[in-house]
Amino acid sequence: MTLEQIRKKYANDRFATDAAGVRIVSAEPGHAVCAMPVTPIHRNALGNPQGGAIFTLADFTFAVASNAFSEYVSVSMQHDITFLRTSRGTELTAEAFSIRDGRHTCFYRVDVTDDCGALIAVMTVNGFVTAQKNGDVSPDSTDSTVNA
């Protein structure tokens, strides 16, 4: 798939793309980079980027990295995120790396940095590789079992 085809496919993840403003920067098998602007809607009561917004960016980046080129749909089973510092920047970038892609499970690390060069959070994701083929997922699907 081309980058434009991947962007079109994942545009259906409306919470990440429409509500949070996440965009796919690059994708290749087992690796993806996504970015999200930090706007007033992303900030908590203290004015810092909200943990849920950072989590959404990291989780979406995992979904792209684990599914964009995979024959079978992977879904997340467990996430562990450590918030290291707040961001002073205006954009966050997440980079997902495959640590292990097996027949039934996968394991990814996602680093979230800001445009000031600071490492903001690190997420690890244990994923389950389903029996559902990626091509079987309709762009209009609302079945939550196929959304990673």
Condensed to tens digits (0 to 9), the pLDDT of residues 6-22 reads: 999 999 999 999 999 99
pLDDT grade for 144, boundaries at 50, 70 and 90? very low
Cα-Cα-Cα-Cα torsion 50, 51, 57, 61, nearest 10 degrees, comes to 170
The C-alpha atoms of residue 39 and residue 32 are separated, in whole angstroms, by 23
The C-alpha atoms of residue 98 and residue 76 are separated, in whole angstroms, by 13
C-beta separation of 73 from 137 below 8 A: yes
- Rounded to two decimals, the pTM is 0.90
What is the CATH number that goes with domain 3-138?
Answer: 3.10.129.10
- The domain limits of the chain are 3-138
Q: For the chain, what is the mean pLDDT?
A: 92
Give the DSSP letter of residue 43: B
Q: Is the pLDDT of residue 79 over 70?
A: yes
The distance of Cα 81 from the centroid of its chain, to the nearest Å, equals: 13
**Intra-chain end-to-end CA distance of the chain, in Å:** 18
Amino acid at 140: D
